[in-house]
């Protein structure tokens, strides 16, 4: 298992800096990281070591006067559960997963504003190794900073070398992501661009 560290700067918010430490194997990854903005900070830990499928995602968000935590888990039979806690008063959607049925069929989480969670479908679908046409996926998408979990219908497909086609129907957004040989995002147009890799 190889360990690497990465940093990205937000393209939508240049004040946002994301850091991640990723341990990669041939069959999955463990990762943890942080995101710092002018308004709040986020820390997270991800276990996607089972065939590039999400097992757990733990997320915490902290700001002046409020904080939230989320533990999102996917069981062996594909059932999603979430435990959320909220402290303080802030005008955000409730944290957590209100109806597990809406993410039925999802094997991936997608942490909002985080370039790391794109790696799982890229590696699992072998988008860098083969010419893969567009594959529709259901994601358990975690909104940041509210930590609300909702369904996100997305499509991934192969593009030119080092690029992946990505489309989100939930946000009416599409782009070509530039990634490295490990499937880790270098440039996510409109979201983040990598600034360091070690």
In tens, the pLDDT along 71-103 reads 999 999 999 999 999 999 999 999 999 999 999
Quick check: 48 and 120 in contact, CB under 8 A? Answer: yes
Other C-beta atoms within 10 Å of 5: how many?
A: 12
Q: Which residue is it, tokens 């070591």?
A: 49
Domain, as residue range, for 125: 2-197
pLDDT at 1: 85
- pTM, whole model, 2 decimals? 0.95
Number of compact structural domains in the chain = 1
pLDDT at 23: 98
Q: Which two tokens stand for residue 16?
A: 């946002």
Instruction: pLDDT band for 170, please (50, 70, 90 cuts).
Output: confident
Q: Which two tokens stand for residue 195?
A: 């600034």
In tens, the pLDDT along 117-160 reads 999 999 999 999 999 999 999 999 999 999 999 999 999 999 98
């Amino acid at each position: 298992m190889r360990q690497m560290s990465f940093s990205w700067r937000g393209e939508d918010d240049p004040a946002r800096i994301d850091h991640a430490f990723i341990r990669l194997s041939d069959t999955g990854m463990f990762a943890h990281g942080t995101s710092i903005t002018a308004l709040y900070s986020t820390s997270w830990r991800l276990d996607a070591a089972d065939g590039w499928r999400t097992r757990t995602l733990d997320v915490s968000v902290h700001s002046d006067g409020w904080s939230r935590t989320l533990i999102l888990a996917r069981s062996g039979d594909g059932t999603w559960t979430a435990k959320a806690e909220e402290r303080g008063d802030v005008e955000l959607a409730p944290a957590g997963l209100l109806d597990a049925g809406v993410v039925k069929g999802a094997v991936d989480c997608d942490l909002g504003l985080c370039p790391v969670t794109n790696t799982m479908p890229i590696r699992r679908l072998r988008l860098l190794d083969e010419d893969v046409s567009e594959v529709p996926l259901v994601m358990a998408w975690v909104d940041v900073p509210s930590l609300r979990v909702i369904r996100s219908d997305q499509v991934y497909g192969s593009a030119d070398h080092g690029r992946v086609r990505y489309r989100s129907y939930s946000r009416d957004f599409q782009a070509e992501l530039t990634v490295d040989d490990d499937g880790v995002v270098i440039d996510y147009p409109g979201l983040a661009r990598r600034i360091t890799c070690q």
